[in-house]
Amino acid sequence: MPTRTRPVAVWTPAFVADTVAATLGHANERGLLRAVGDVARAHGLLLATVEEWVARARAVQAAPVPPGLLFCHACDQPMILVQLPGCAQLYLCAPTCGRAPVPAEAVRDAVAAAMMRRKPHLVPAGRTSDAAAYAPGAMLRVSIGATSTDLHITWRTAPRQLTGPLMSMAQRLHHARQYSEGHRSRAIEVLRTGLIFTDPAGHKLALDTATAQATALLAELTLTNGDPQGALPWAAWAHRSLRRLLGATSPQARTALKLLATAHRRADNHKEAATCYSDLIRYNSEAEGPDALPTLAAQATLALVLYDAGRCGPARRLLARTITTHRHAHPQHSGGTRMVAALDRMRATCIDKHHGHQAGFDE
């Protein structure tokens, strides 16, 4: 007698595309983790199954064409990569469109051919077989018509060669951290390649922490390069994303907020910098306590920002108060000397510039 087994569910490509589209749509509001859980529950699927489908549709290495490049010519929605056991990979549109699926391999070959025809110099020597991976450096978007060869390509006005286009975001982050010391420009290129379809000014936030952290690192390196204006949008996006993914008081979100505050300060945006440092003080205080060193450091920097903005009184009082707290809470710590020197400098500047404050202003 044959053993009784549970019936194996038969998933159609359209059902997988439907599930992936629903999850990604939902993820923009709820975050990817919760969206996967919600959709899995709603369809009675295993969490791991939905996770795998979504990961496959989004993963750079597994995708024949880099995620973010392909759109449906009929309805303008992003195409979804679907793979089922025993079947070839397919690109499908969201279920509402109802268009016919196209074989993924054929789409990859057509994109690669267009790349080699128009921009062969953006594909490094010996990487011709990966030409499609380099396509986002030259193509802004590719709309797929009825067949895999019916491509409508929007070319970039400022094309460039990509660095390491086949890496996953986690690999990219690791790689960029390794190179951030000696080869900063390479680290920046590796990160920019992974974020080529990310619009920090758009309303969509990062769906995973690796992407959000990669953005934070890009902002940090851009700031180190002396470009606070260039760093600002990335720092703001990284902070908003990490805040939603991990919470405002998480170490990662606080690090990103500090970065954003620093970028605003370097860009001479006094008001925005002051707001960021005030928020940072609050979150550091909630996470580590009002007398913790990171809280006091943020407080001392806020005093410097206020002083730069011409608010001598609040600045000097805040710094004096911070010095007192620091002295009581961390008598062994050396940081106090720097704060005392900064306060002395403020007092001297006020006198030099004839601000005319009365004595005992910050007692």
- Out of 14, 33, 55, 74, name the contact with Zn ion by CB under 5 A: 74
206 binds Zn ion (CB under 5 A): no
355 binds Zn ion (CB under 5 A): yes
Number of residues this chain uses to bind Zn ion (CB under 5 A): 9
CB of 226 to Zn ion, least distance (A): 29
CB of 322 to Zn ion, least distance (A): 18
312 binds Zn ion (CB under 5 A): yes
Q: What is the 3-state secondary structure (H, E, C) of the chain?
A: CCCCCCCCCCCCHHHHHHHHHHHHHHHHHHCHHHHHHHHHHHHCCCHHHHHHHHHHHHCCCCCCCCCCCEEECCCCCECEEECCCCCCCEEECCCCCCCCCEEHHHHHHHHHHHHHHHCHHHCCCCCHHHHHHHHHHCEEEEEECCCCCCEEEEECCCCCCCCCCCCCHHHHHHHHHHHCCCCHHHHHHHHHHHCCCCCCCCCCCCCCHHHHHHHHHHHHHHHHCCCHHHHHHHHHHHHHHHHHHHCCCCHHHHHHHHHHHHHHHHCCCHHHHHHHHHHHHHHHHHHHCCCCHHHHHHHHHHHHHHHHCCCHHHHHHHHHHHHHHHHHHCCCCCHHHHHHHHHHHHHHHHHHCCCCCCCCCCC
97 binds Zn ion (CB under 5 A): yes
CB of 119 to Zn ion, least distance (A): 27
CB of 67 to Zn ion, least distance (A): 17
93 binds Zn ion (CB under 5 A): yes
Nearer to Zn ion by Cβ, of 18 and 208: the residue is: 18
- Out of 17, 20, 65, 72, name the contact with Zn ion by CB under 5 A: 72
22 binds Zn ion (CB under 5 A): no
Nearer to Zn ion by Cβ, of 244 and 311: the residue is: 311
- Out of 42, 46, 75, 88, name the contact with Zn ion by CB under 5 A: 75
Site of interaction with Zn ion (CB under 5 A): 72, 74-75, 93, 97, 99, 312, 350, 355
